[in-house]
Chain A
Amino acid sequence: MPRTLFDKIWDAHLVARRGDGRDLIYIDRHVLHELHAPHAFEQLQKQHREVRRPDLTFSMQDHTVATMPGRDESSNPSGTAFIRAMREGSRRNGIRLFDIDDPEQGISHVVAPELGMVLPGATHAVPDSHASTVGGVGALAFGCGTSELAHILATQVMALTRPKRMLIRLEGRLRAHVGAKDVALRIIGELGVSGARGHVVEYAGAAVRAMSIEARMTLCNLNIEMGGRSGFVAPDESTLSWLAGRPFAPSGEMWDRALAHWCTLKSDAGAEFDREYLLDCATLEPQITWGTDPSQVVGIRGRVPDPAKAEPAHRAAFESALAYMGLEPGMAVAGLPVQRVFIGSCTNSRLADLETAASVVRGRRVADGVVAIVVPGSTSVKRAAEAAGLDRVFRDAGFSWGESGCSMCAGGNGDRGAPGERCVSTTNRNFEHRQGPRVRTHLASPETAAASALAGRIADVRQIASALA
């Protein structure tokens, strides 16, 4: 019987059926961060339990680290206890830590694939809802809470009920200045914030095949914003050449063996999915959110919707979102004045993201009155960007250039906007107060964010690009 790639990975990692009927799924790589791991370390210590496979586990300092140049563990005072507890817990349990001053420190979802810790057909867990970012390299990744994190540390498996399968086919060729972020936001706009609940999504189709691995990670990153349990892209030649030579990936003869296996990782023809969804990407415009969840999104030339014309189930949420965002029905989204622009986060902070943003910014200036910030996703990304001169491009334009971390995505490190500010952000959640009390967040691509910083208003990057041409 034809099987989906999800079924193949699941079945290959099925260790046992537990007494209560749950499947025990082996976790090949477990990546921790300091906001949640200290509580799990403490729990294990109290229970006198050991970490089963410290050699398959990695620790990152990302959520609470300051991003100012010259930072240390004290720069964000509320992060210090987390950073120290992470350091101590990792040491005690023999887990390799990428500490705040490590040359490869960064956001877990950026660092793990970048160093080749995550592999096609492998399972991966992170105590963070954006775990499935690494689905971009063909891994099956699950986000979880703190108790499950402790459970994985002690057992190296997750106890799960088998999710349903969903296929999202993305066809057509993306137009210039339209990228994975725009595609993902449009999908969430169509399916809603719980549209993939209970499902593992396989992204396929010509538009996905044409995407870089970084872009696929952006696509898979946003899977949780429609409630998906996980999301991935089957590996192909792009994936394998992207992975080759990365330090934690297999090498030599082992690489050849792994490669032979990875080439078989695809859904069989005729494999059945519980749901399928098709999006033609050929006419897609850059997207930007207008509201307070990621499904409240329009094309950059679109207008704020009228709650009176919305489906009854959405009316109250639309009204509340408009009030928070300070918008009126029918307003054009493009042209709204912005006071802050943030380029970063596990969604859009890889080198490719910074390159596209820099190509918009190069030789231009951030508008007066706009605070514009770039925070690379990892210290390696930062170094590579600096080697390519991208930091100069951003700085010359008036952007600040930070040290790596999660930063303004959730504000866990104290980076946040001022009350009432309108912020164009390349992050993943435009929830109320997430980027600071009363901050109004509009999610968009790095290019749209860059263009908006230059214009001082929400801007269509294609207009700025054509002015340059």
Chain B
Amino acid sequence: MQPFTTHTGIAVPVLVDDMNTDQIAPVAAMRNLKPDYKALLFMRARRRDDGSEDPEFVLNKPQFRNPGILVAGHNFGAGSSREAAVWGMPANNIRVIVARSFADIYRENCLQNGLLPIVLAPQDAEAFEQRVVSVNGAAPFTVDLPAQRITGADGCDIGFEIASADRTRLLEGLDNIGLTLKHAHEIASWEQRTAIEQPWLQSAADSRSARP
């Protein structure tokens, strides 16, 4: 996984609550095994019914065509667990999402893909959102994970908290499977113990095909 240290980019405001993964990445855009993840992001909102681009949608505005940071409301990424709703972000160079809160599975999917999910303290969130709206894509912001700060135009400088485990994983770009396999011995011990204590958990055989 690509390590995350700092990321600089235009911050695009999508300030609605409960944005679900059907809105972020509709199933209709996932009709083959290798869809265009760049085009799939907010596909429905990007286009009008006749298929033409909707100039009113924020990511279609000239100043937000190459965003780096997405700024969202509460419960971002609700609904389906589809990871395409995360894969569409880096495909558009978005590597940071600042939201009032994240849906649990979506946040996990971000961490799996080297995307930094940030939740600011409520008063900071409000100030940052206002700043993002007033800057209106005219100047970038920089997210610095080691320093845990967001900086930008007009002296914007806001600190953020993140669980140290998640911070380390992003900073080092750690391979999630590799991290866990360091505990392969403990996994095997658990299996051996459980096979004795609760053997039904360690066997999922079809009793109809069992040989005598």
Known contacts: A20-B165, A36-B83. The answer to whether A26 contacts B190 by CB under 8 A is yes
Partner-contacting stretch, out of B58-66, B129-137, B172-180: B172-180
| The stretch of B3-11, B88-96, B98-106, B146-154 that contacts the partner chain | B98-106
Among residues 1 to 50 in chain A, which have CB atoms less than 8 Å away from a CB atom of chain B? Answer: 15-16, 18-22, 24, 26, 28-29, 35-36, 38-39, 47, 49
The answer to whether B83 touches A146, judged by C-beta atoms less than 8 angstroms apart, is yes
Chain A residues with a Cβ closer than 8 Å to the other chain, count: 78
Check if B144 is an interface residue, CB within 8 A of chain A.
Answer: no
Residues of B within 8 A of A183 (CB): none
B112 adjacent to A148 (CB under 8 Å): yes
Q: How far is the CB of A126 from chain B (nearest CB, A)?
A: 9
Distance between Cα atoms of A403 and B26 in the complex (Å) = 24
Most buried by A among B169, B180, B181: B180
Binding site for A on B (CB under 8 A): 16-18, 20, 22-23, 26-28, 30-33, 44, 49, 74-75, 78-83, 86, 101, 103-105, 108-109, 112-113, 163-166, 168-169, 174, 176-177, 179-184, 186-187, 190-191, 194, 198-208
Give complex CA distance A82, B27 in Å.
13
Given known pairs A144-B105, A147-B109, A433-B22, the reply for A28 and B201 (CB within 8 Å) is: yes
Instruction: Provide 21 A-B residue pairs closer than 8 Å at the C-beta atoms, listed in order of the A residue.
Output: A20-B174, A21-B165, A24-B180, A26-B191, A26-B194, A28-B201, A29-B204, A36-B83, A47-B177, A119-B200, A145-B86, A145-B109, A156-B191, A197-B103, A227-B103, A248-B207, A251-B207, A261-B198, A293-B20, A411-B27, A431-B23
Chain A residues near B74 (CB-CB < 8 A): 194
List the interface of chain A (C-beta within 8 A of B). Answer: 15-16, 18-22, 24, 26, 28-29, 35-36, 38-39, 47, 49, 52, 55-56, 58, 78, 81-82, 85, 96, 117, 119, 122, 127-129, 143-148, 150-151, 154-157, 159, 161, 163, 193-194, 197-198, 224, 227, 229, 247-251, 254-255, 257-258, 261, 293, 313, 316-317, 410-412, 429, 431-434, 437-438
CA distance A126 to B165 in the complex (A): 24
Closest to A411 in B: B27
